């Protein structure tokens, strides 16, 4: 069985050949790619798209940098949302929800129905999910980077459109989410370059789950969304 990694950063400082080496080591055939936050500029989405057109193994996600849908959005399979106009890993900008243009943008985003990987603090994420109810929402790192994973799990366990990726989370935390959610809402991610694909994959394989459930977490769930 070939796997799919749903959380890989692509940037000028991350040689694509190094990623392919990790894919070969981990039996991964496809990867969801989006810009590295530290290198985001107006050209980075174009870079991600060009690389995805060059290599069929890459599934491109658009890194949200402004409140409008780009003309080339049809070429992207989803969105990456990362502390938009806020303070990364510190505080989200909740005042955006009072901005009519921003709310219009969320409605436009929601109509597309493409998956959205969103990394914001809990309060922002909760309001976002309430407005974007027609699109799959993927919370990365099981909510670990955005706050308290247990709080995210409790709030979103019953939302049909909310999923969690496992990038950088511990084996014990992944197991806790699995026991609460089952395999249907979990998606494998490595978090490259912050995580190593083989190590992150090993955490899931170490849970010794049924093959059908492993296939869902490591492949089928994300492919179904895109």
| Six-digit token string for 61 | 């996600």
pLDDT tens figures, 179-191: 999 999 999 999 9
Phi and psi dihedrals of 179, rounded to 5?
Answer: -65, -30
Q: Give the per-residue pLDDT at 88.
A: 85
CA distance 206 to 65: 37
Q: Which of 117, 108, 161 is nearest to 139 (CA)?
A: 117
Helix axes 149-156, 171-181, angle to 10 degrees: 10
3-state SS assignment for residue 206: coil
CATH homologous superfamily for the domain 3-225: Metal-dependent hydrolases (3.20.20.140)
pLDDT tens figures, 37-85: 989 887 999 999 999 999 999 999 999 999 999 999 999 999 999 999 9
Hey, how many other C-beta atoms are within 10 angstroms of the C-beta on 12? 13
Q: Give the per-residue pLDDT at 63.
A: 97
Report yes or no: 148 and 111 within 8 Å, Cβ to Cβ: no
The residue ranges of the chain whose pLDDT is under 70 are: none
Q: Give the per-residue pLDDT at 40.
A: 87
CA distance 23 to 4: 9
Q: Name the pTM for this structure.
A: 0.97
Give the distance from CA 114 to its chain's centroid: 12
CA distance 89 to 97: 19
Q: Which of 118, 111, 164, 116 is nearest to 136 (CA)?
A: 116
Q: Give the per-residue pLDDT at 41.
A: 81
Report yes or no: 76 and 60 within 8 Å, Cβ to Cβ: yes
CA distance 79 to 222: 13
Where are the domains positioned within the chain?
3-225
Kindly provide the b/e burial profile for residues 113-152, where b requires at least 16 CB atoms within 10 angstroms of the residue's own CB: ebbbbbbbbbebbebbbeebeebbbbbbbbbbbbeebeeb
CA distance 143 to 139: 6
């Amino acid at each position: 069985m070939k796997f799919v990694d749903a959380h890989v950063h692509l940037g000028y400082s991350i040689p694509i050949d190094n990623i392919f080496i990790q894919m070969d080591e981990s039996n991964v055939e496809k990867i969801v790619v989006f810009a590295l936050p530290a290198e985001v500029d107006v050209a980075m989405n174009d870079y991600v798209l060009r690389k995805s057109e060059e290599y069929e193994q890459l599934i491109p996600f658009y890194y949200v940098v402004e409140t409008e849908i780009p003309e080339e959005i049809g070429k992207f399979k989803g969105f990456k949302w990362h502390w938009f106009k806020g303070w990364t890993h510190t505080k989200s900008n909740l005042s955006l929800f009072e901005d009519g243009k921003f709310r219009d943008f969320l409605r436009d985003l929601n109509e597309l129905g493409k998956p959205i990987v969103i990394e914001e603090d809990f309060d922002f994420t909760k309001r976002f999910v309430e407005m974007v109810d027609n699109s799959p929402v993927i919370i990365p790192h099981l909510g670990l980077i955005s706050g308290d994973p247990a709080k995210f799990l409790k709030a979103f366990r019953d939302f049909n459109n909310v999923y969690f990726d496992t990038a950088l989370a511990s084996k014990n935390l992944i197991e806790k989410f699995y026991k609460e959610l089952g395999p249907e809402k979990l998606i494998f991610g490595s978090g490259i370059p912050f995580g190593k694909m083989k190590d992150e994959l090993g955490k899931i394989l170490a849970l010794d789950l049924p093959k059908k459930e492993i296939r869902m977490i490591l492949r089928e769930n994300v492919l179904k969304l895109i």
